[in-house]
Structure 1
Amino acid sequence: MTKKKENIFDVNLFKRLFKYTKPYRVVFYGLIVSVLILGALSIATPLLVREIVDQHLVKQDYDGFVNLITIMALLLLATVVFQLLFIYYSSWLGLKMVKDIRVKLFDHMLNFRMKYFNNSSVGVLITRAVTDMERISSVFGDGLFSIIRDLLIMIVVSSAMLYVNWKLAIIVFVMLPIILYATKVFQRYMKQAFEEIRNEVSNLNSFVQERVTGMKILQLFTREVTEYKNFQEINTRHKNAWLKTVWYNSIFFAILEVLSALTVGTVVYFGGLRVIIDGSVSAGDLFMFITMIPMLFRPLRQIADKFSTLQMGLVAANRVFKILDTTSQIDNSGTIVAKDLKGSISFKDVHFRYVEDEEVLKGISFEVTAGQTVAIVGATGAGKSTVINLLNRFYEINNGEIKIDNTNIKDFTLSSLRQQTAVVLQDVFLFADTILSNITLNHPEITEAQVIQAAKDIGIHDFIMSLPNGYHYNVKERGVMLSSGQRQLISFLRAYVTNPSILILDEATSSVDSYSEQLIQNATDKITKGRTSIVIAHRLATIQKADNIIVMDNGQIVEQGTHQELLKKENGYYRNLYEVQFLQSEVA
């Protein structure tokens, strides 16, 4: 079986990327005009040098010499101006395109299912959104237009050589097939090297991001030496991938320099003989060719270099487009706007699995009356948190039906459904921002005055004011400046200010100190009053007042009832669980 030949340049991928230039077509066509002008100006200096040598230096024509030098200076000034415009606007176009693609990518990622993030490396996604984007900007900034400009210069220079002296031109052109072949080989190897580099950059980003995030665990378990060695290995692979490109460049550019020097030497030898012997080549022609040979070979070398930049940008674009082509969004075809919900909830024979052949929920059914507080308890892995994930439509159920106020949750618009539901998680995530911003999440309709009043309502205003700058205290990344209990209180306030119809507390008091727990309990009593609440807890003492307790085991509901009703069941799952916790608290 023959291996399919790999394309050095992906035309379809480039066409897709080219579509993003559409809003900036005026600049795009302006760059094309600049390229044409630069191509024309490139040949002006060699032609003027030929004219100066043959018509004015030899004849000692001072006035004509000065006039041509003046014209040459003006043309060089024009070249500088157009070159400046070309460099600026080609980079400008690339950055504008990247801005548009990055916004589109981030918006696309915002709507991915949780399953996608569960299966994806954070470091890789960051690489796609940041590092790869910078590579894409170079496709137009340092790639395409530079290649077009250099190709045009080569065409103009080659034409001028043929026009002035075709014999000397043939000597120059003999070297071109060798250079073109070397360039083709160089491009193929460079594309493979750049693919390897992108993979190693992603691996490096993922490794560093995870280790920095989990630094506390590494230090607690004294894994510094092991992780240092792992990092050395990854960093070495990253270095070696880059060294391949350095090696390929070193070989290629050395070959070009040798060929260029040989060509100049050959032209000087044969051209000089013709100047001396029969005058079939003028001194001006010889000077012109010596000037133009680097102009022909240097763009060819630059084209290879820019082509590598172009390839690297296209590799990055291909990776980004793969994410943009990923269809991992929750179906948002619902048309009903969830507003002022009463909060009744119904699960009917709901089945769900995160992966095939591993069912997490095995046909559970239960009802929650509007305004009730319902607790869900069970061992780790029983499916408790899965219930709330499905209620918020972070995942889609495989079978069954979930209703709120007798309406299937799929019939609601996704954003309005989630706006009516507030969740307080055990692991509270806070952004590196002020307490106020973490509470409002920059919602324009939630004012600071409303936040302060809400904090007073649930009894945590004094705690916030005890911090430096109060509500404007910066909690740093992931809220590291606060204790777990303090982060939990911020999370309660964040849920309360949204005035949700349904409140979900997922292990909200499982890892806080006694003082914070009392504040949280008071806050819980306040924010659950008059609204449907679902409380997931390991500590049964916190849910004794619940209107209904659902006991889950291995993805099924095994018991339901109030605290007192469940305690009356001989050998009941809840009763056994409660007695174990009670005995543990007695021993403690």
Structure 2
Amino acid sequence: MRFSAYGDEHGRYDPRLLRRLLGYLRPFVGRIALGLLLIVISTVMSLLGPYLIKIAIDSHIASGDLPGLDRVLLLTLGTYLVGGACFGAQLYLMGWIGQRVLARLRDQIFDHIQRLSLSFLDRQEAGDTMSRLVNDVDTLNQLFNMGLSSLPLDLCTLVGIVAAMLLLNVRLALLSFSVLPFMVASTIIFARRARKAYRLTRQKIGAVSADLQESISSVRVVQSFARERVNQERFDQLNRENRDANVGAAAVASSFFPTVDVLSSIGTAIIVGVGGALALRGEMTVGIIFAFLSYLTRFFMPIRDLSQLYNSLLSAMAGSERIFQLLDTPPAIEDRPGAIALPRLQGRIEFRNVSFAYLPGEPVLHDVNLRIEPGETLAIVGPTGAGKTTIASLVGRLYDVTEGAVLVDGYDVRDVQMASLRSQMGVVLQENFVFSGTVMDNIRYGRLDATDEEVIAAARLVNADSFIERLPEGYQSEVMERGANFSLGQRQLIAFARAVLADPRILILDEATSSVDTRTEQLIQRALARLLKGRTSIVIAHRLSTIRSADRIIVVDGGRIVEEGTHGELMARKGLYHDLYMRQYRAEAEEAESRGLAAGLDGTWAPRLAEC
């Protein structure tokens, strides 16, 4: 999947990234101003401490003035208390702002992902998308928390310390600052190496997340084919690449921070050596040396903090690049300007010269013309990959046609609001997703304002109550993740009840009974007659025996409609439908016979085949 790029291969980031991140702070300008005021007060109080102690040493300790010393110490204690209170308050305030920014960003990403078209999600690895929503957003957590608090605090501290040291003694201050050029050079070298390192770490964790997501989702297949070792080897390789990328980033950081400590020690040695010599000659007091040492120690602390902040900034830039790449991916399917809201549908569907391709140059449907009348049940059959599901997907505008038009009640689906169309459609798939929560909640998903009585009525209509009422908690029974505590047939019945509750004008059943057992299929078939009545229905069938009563059947092959008619008409023509039907019927007969249920035991298959 190709995204728009914010950086280049050399690791340089477009400044638009930082501007976009800062844009999320705009709603909190007032609170940020208050936080900055607290930072200034906290810094001033903190920097007063060494100067007050300098006064205590030079003016009171040296002269033995204990009352004066007590007053200075109390004043020093007061400044530290006020500074500490302001520091704690700004930490909380800036953290409060940072968490709300991150929550807003997560909401924005989630909302955007839900609006992205299936064509994008079909091509994008789910694990990588999850990594952008979780891991990449988490890289911004430390940036916002440290950036909002530490950056202004450290800058304010540096400015204050420089001013204080220059006021105390210009010559000693300039000597202390002699290590700064080396600090700047180290920072530039570190920055160049770190940009590339942190971008690589974000890419590698995305690959690990994508593989992990896929492996968990496919664990049944993996275990069935005994492919655990193959999967483990692939994951180990990705995990090693992620480890090496993070070790590389750590190596870059570990080579920088000791440099800061060494330069700090050199600065301290300069003050002790030069300041001590000046003190011995009577040109400087001990109190000034103490204040200089205190200020110099604090001077290098914010520099180290700024280096760590820059470290976080680089990681956050790599994460934000991936986040904004996702946010900048436009939905391929969205409401056109001036799209109208559909009134209550009658249910007429028409395909006019429709062609469609998932990928350019690889058409799936070719010049399909089809008309479905309100209340009609149309069955679509055909070999695997013939285009059956694609036809149904185009009705709800999950994809846009390549050529031609799909009309519902005479409206081109591209000219109507998608919500007004899809809210009047019900879809039941072969493997329906059930959500964590209760059975009641899962059925109510079809219509969120439905009462408990309406939910129960919908379940009874499709015979789902036959198993729900036997559950220990009934409709309040908890559904495990992906419905792991329910059989496939039970999940299908829940999906049917969900569709019934929505009371759709158009109903699409996509292989809805192909994976259920015979008993469950019988329950569903008894409910289908009531479910389909009065609704336009499209039934994509795997078991052809389930669609014999359809008003009309179309046979799709190679993306074209090759046959059309009722079950009896198509069987009489002895074309593709007849071949598919007989082939499947014989397969079912052989399966039943292998179970001891076929002609040799009850004599039922031969007469039924003769009826065909």
Normalized against structure 1, the TM-score is what?
A: 0.96
Aligned 8 A contact 2:42 2:84 in 1: no
Aligned 8 A contact 2:462 2:493 in 1: no
* 2:590 matches 1:582: no
Residue type matched to 2:552 in 1?
N
Among 293, 303, 307, which residue is 2:306 paired with?
303
Q: State how 1:174-213 maps to structure 2 within 5 Å.
A: 174-213=178-217
Aligned 8 A contact 1:139 1:314 in 2: no
User: What is the aligned residue count?
Assistant: 584
Aligned 8 A contact 1:9 1:311 in 2: no
Distance 1:13 1:406 in 2: 46
Report the alpha carbon displacement of residue 9 of structure 1 after superposing the two structures with TM. Answer: 6.5
SS of residue paired to 1:353 = strand
* 2:455 matches 1:451: yes
Residue type matched to 1:320 in 2?
I
Tell me: CA distance 1:194–1:20, structure 2 relative to 1, closer, same or farther (3 Å): same
Q: State how 1:491-510 maps to structure 2 within 5 Å.
A: 491-510=495-514
Distance 2:588 2:245 in 1: 58
Report the alpha carbon displacement of residue 266 of structure 1 after superposing the two structures with TM. Answer: 2.1
Q: State how 1:509-588 maps to structure 2 within 5 Å.
A: 509-570=513-574, 572-588=575-591
Among 115, 118, 131, which residue is 2:119 paired with?
115
Q: Aligned Cα RMSD in Å?
A: 1.8
Q: Pick which of 79-88 and 346-355 moved more.
A: 79-88
Aligned 8 A contact 1:8 1:187 in 2: no
- The Cα offsets for residues 230-273 of structure 1, whole Å up to 9 and x where unpaired, read as 22222222222222232222222212222211221222112111
* 2:321 matches 1:318: yes
Q: State how 1:15-30 maps to structure 2 within 5 Å.
A: 15-30=19-34
- The Cα offsets for residues 96-150 of structure 1, whole Å up to 9 and x where unpaired, read as 1111111112111111111111011111111111222222233221124312211
Give the corresponding residue for 1:218: 222
Q: Pick which of 135-144 and 545-554 moved more.
A: 135-144
Q: Pick which of 353-362 and 285-294 moved more.
A: 285-294
- The Cα offsets for residues 21-60 of structure 1, whole Å up to 9 and x where unpaired, read as 1222221111121222233223211211211111111111
Give the corresponding residue for 2:595: none
Tell me: CA distance 1:475–1:4, structure 2 relative to 1, closer, same or farther (3 Å): closer
Residue type matched to 2:302 in 1?
P
Residue type matched to 1:269 in 2?
G
Give the corresponding residue for 1:90: 94
Q: State how 1:131-530 maps to structure 2 within 5 Å.
A: 131-277=135-281, 279-333=282-336, 335-441=339-445, 443-530=447-534
SS of residue paired to 2:24 = helix
Residue segments in structure 1 that go unaligned for 5+ positions in a row: none
Distance 2:263 2:18 in 1: 32
Aligned 8 A contact 2:463 2:493 in 1: no
Equivalent pairs: percent with the same residue? 34
SS of residue paired to 1:349 = strand
Distance 2:545 2:70 in 1: 100
SS of residue paired to 1:511 = coil
Aligned 8 A contact 1:440 1:494 in 2: yes
Residue segments in structure 2 that go unaligned for 5+ positions in a row: 1-6, 592-612
Aligned 8 A contact 1:97 1:137 in 2: no
- The Cα offsets for residues 136-189 of structure 1, whole Å up to 9 and x where unpaired, read as 233221124312211221121112112211111122111111011112222332
Distance 1:537 1:77 in 2: 76
SS of residue paired to 1:33 = helix
Distance 1:154 1:455 in 2: 69
Distance 1:256 1:485 in 2: 65
Q: Pick which of 331-340 and 477-486 moved more.
A: 331-340
- The Cα offsets for residues 511-569 of structure 1, whole Å up to 9 and x where unpaired, read as 11111111111121120112111111122111111111101100000010111111121
Normalized against structure 2, the TM-score is what?
A: 0.92
Distance 2:36 2:317 in 1: 21
Aligned 8 A contact 1:264 1:293 in 2: yes
Residue type matched to 2:83 in 1?
T
Report the alpha carbon displacement of residue 575 of structure 1 after superposing the two structures with TM. Answer: 1.5
Residue type matched to 1:96 in 2?
R
SS of residue paired to 1:430 = coil
Distance 1:115 1:473 in 2: 36
SS of residue paired to 2:45 = helix
